Amino acid sequence: MPTYSQEIEAAAKLCEANGSSWDAINPESVARMRLQNKFKTGLDIAKYTADIMRRDMAAYDRDFTKYTQSLGCWHGFIGQQKMISIKKHFAGNTDRRYLYLSGWMVAALRSDFGPLPDQSMHEKTAVSGLIEELYTFLRQADARELGGLFRELDAAREAGDKAAEKAIIEKIDNHVTHVVPIIADIDAGFGNAEATYLLAKRMIEAGACCIQIENQVSDEKQCGHQDGKVTVPHEDFLAKIRAVRYAFLELGVDNGVIVARTDSLGAGLTKQIAVTKEPGDLGDQYNAFLDCDEVAPGDLANGDVIINRDGKLLRPKRLPSNLFQFRKGTGEARCVLDSVTSLQNGADLIWIETEKPHVGQIGAMMDEIRKQVPNAKLVYNNSPSFNWTLNFRQQVFDAWKEEGRDVSAYNRDKLMSAEYDDSELSRVADEKIRTFQADAAREAGIFHHLITLPTYHTAALSTDNLAKEYFGEKGMLGYVEGVQRKEIRQGIACVKHQNMAGSDMGDDHKDYFSGEAALKAAGKDNTMNQFG
């Protein structure tokens, strides 16, 4: 990016070239506005953030401690505050920290129909709309932060402090943007491959450098942690992966990232029998997992669907729903085949939706996948659908029992109870939860850890706490003690909510546009001055 002085010089030449009619245009003000709006389009963002993801993927291949993380955000403000917080707490560094856009949260919180289950019933464009909104708020965070530096620069100049002026210009030149990669959920593509391509284009144009797509039937799609999931044959899914790749390439985002998610571990059903042309091809491998009965020609009933395999007639078990079921116990093998096939046909990363957070289970599947794709990398959902406390306490209980340790003081089925919170078992389990991401990155090939819908839960929890106190005996103290006092003491930027909403930037623009005639909001009577 151009430096501050370079932007001023370029703007000055432009003003000079346009003669006296531009005399009222201040080149430095132009430079400031340009720096505050360094990303002009969503495609600019997609290309910039795709480069970041590719660098991070290469770094992870060299060093498994360099895994990446994200939190799901359902509103632009939530994403903005997350990145402001990261910059505040980690010395201005946003490295390896992304945003996640959850289809679940779009359905539950962003649909014109109101709250919906995660079944792809929400409007398609709600997804691309949220991507655009997130980046609008992140770009505003850049503009706000730079605006603060510009005001500091003006103050240093007014005070004649050359050292401070130089230091502030250096901060401006080395400003770290709040814009980071978004991994965006396109669900099962919202239709056929053409529908997937069209929506992928909208998402990329809004700024998405990474699109996650799953192998469920589009019109039967379920949340990965619910029952009733139905998968599609591999060729159907690969067509959608190719559709997303074509969308990236058409728009010039040549290094866009595709995450192929398989729900096969928990999906016991398929809507279609795959097309197969010869033994062992992809369709035949998919069909080999079907739960079938061997039949003789005389046993056939009206409407039976029959598969010929190795000279035998097999009748797949068909449910009243007209769906076919897979053999029990084949989920992990299907996940491995799904993942290998996706990576061999254009996907960059894989996602295996599991029923519990268990490093050993995930690692075993990744070992099988890496036999065929050595650099395979996972995106993993550290899901709020898991009871993390109970899961890890039970894992420790089972390990101790297998080691022959005395576990008689614990009731395995009731380990969630608060009575165990101070126990040795719970301390060991909590440490395993704390190190889960690092352990799984090292032992199970997880490049990216995300929590799909954490801010859904934090919004509910904080609102419950405020409502309980404010409408109860504490009254206004419930807000002051539980919110504002903490904001001030923790340095939460939005305690000055007018500033966060852009009032100071508006004042800057009034100065540029109207000079001394500007009627500004940040005068001595602005109550935000109480916060210093």
Catalytic residues, which ones? 223
Task: Give CA torsion, residues 427, 433, 434, 435, to 10 deg.
Answer: 110
- The residues with which 315 forms a beta bridge, in sequence order, are 293
| Partners of 216 in the β-ladder | 231
User: What DSSP character marks residue 318?
Assistant: B
Helix or strand holding residue 308 (H, E): strand 307-309
What would you report as the CA-atom Rg of the chain, rounded to the nearest whole angstrom? 28
Q: What is the DSSP letter of 176?
A: P
CA atoms within 13 Å, Cβ hemisphere of 40:
2
- Amino acid in the structure at residue 26: N
Separation in Å, CA 236 to CA 186, 191, 284, 372: 16, 11, 14, 22
Q: Is the dihedral of CA 438, 443, 445, 451 positive or negative?
A: negative
Half-sphere exposure (Cβ direction) of 48: Cα atoms closer than 13 Å: 18
User: 269-270 and 378-381 as β-strands: parallel, antiparallel, unpaired?
Assistant: unpaired
Chain centroid offset of residue 99 CA: 5
- Residue-wise over 331-368: b if at least 16 C-beta within 10 A, else e? bbbbbbbbbbbbbebebbbbbbbbebbbbebbbebbeb
Q: Which letter does DSSP use for residue 192 in this model?
A: S
Hey, what are 272's tokens? 């279609």
Residues 6+ apart with CB under 8 A from 519: 510
> For residues 172 and 146, what is the distance between their CA atoms, to the nearest angstrom?
7
- Say which residues have a Cβ less than 8 Å from residue 449's Cβ, sequence separation at least 6: 67, 68, 69, 70, 380, 382, 437, 440, 441
Phi, psi of 139 (to 5 degrees): -65, -35
Please classify residue 171 by burial: count the beta carbons closer than 10 Å to its beta carbon, then call 0-12 exposed, 13-18 middle and 19+ buried: middle
Would you say 273 and 225 are in contact if contact means Cβ atoms under 8 Å apart? no
Contact 64, 378 (CB under 8 A): no
CB 101 within 8 A of CB 73: yes
